[in-house]
Amino acid sequence: MNIKDVSAQTGLPAKTIRYYEDIGLIRPSRSANGYRVFQETHIHKLAFLGRARTLGFSIEDCRTLLALYEDDSRASADVKAVAEEHLSQIGEKIAQLEAMRDTLRTLVQSCAGDARPDCPILTDLARG
Partner DNA sequence: AATAAGGGTTCTAGTCACTGGAAGGTCAAG
Partner DNA sequence: CTTGACCTTCCAGTGACTAGAACCCTTATT
CA angle, 65 then 69 then 75, to 5°:
90
Please, which contacts does 79-84 make with residues 24 or more away whose CB atoms are closer than 8 Å?
Answer: 82/57
Binding to its own copies (CB under 8 A) within 90-119 occurs at 90-91, 93-94, 97-98, 100-101, 103-105, 107-108, 111-119
* Helix ranges, 1-128 (H): 3-10, 14-22, 40-54, 59-70, 76-110, 120-126
Nearer to its own copies, 15 or 80 (CB): 80
Nearer to its own copies, 24 or 117 (CB): 117
Binding to DNA (CB under 7 A) within 34-63 occurs at 34-36, 53, 58-60
CA angle, 22 then 51 then 76, to 5°:
100
H or E stretch covering 37? strand 36-37
- Asked whether position 48 contacts its own copies by CB under 8 A, the answer is yes
Answer with the entry of DNA, its own copies, none that 114 interacts with (C-beta below 5 to 8 A by kind): its own copies
Q: Which residues bind its own copies (CB under 8 A)?
A: 44, 47-48, 51-52, 54-56, 65, 68-69, 71-77, 79-81, 83-84, 86-87, 90-91, 93-94, 97-98, 100-101, 103-105, 107-108, 111-119, 121-122, 124-126, 128
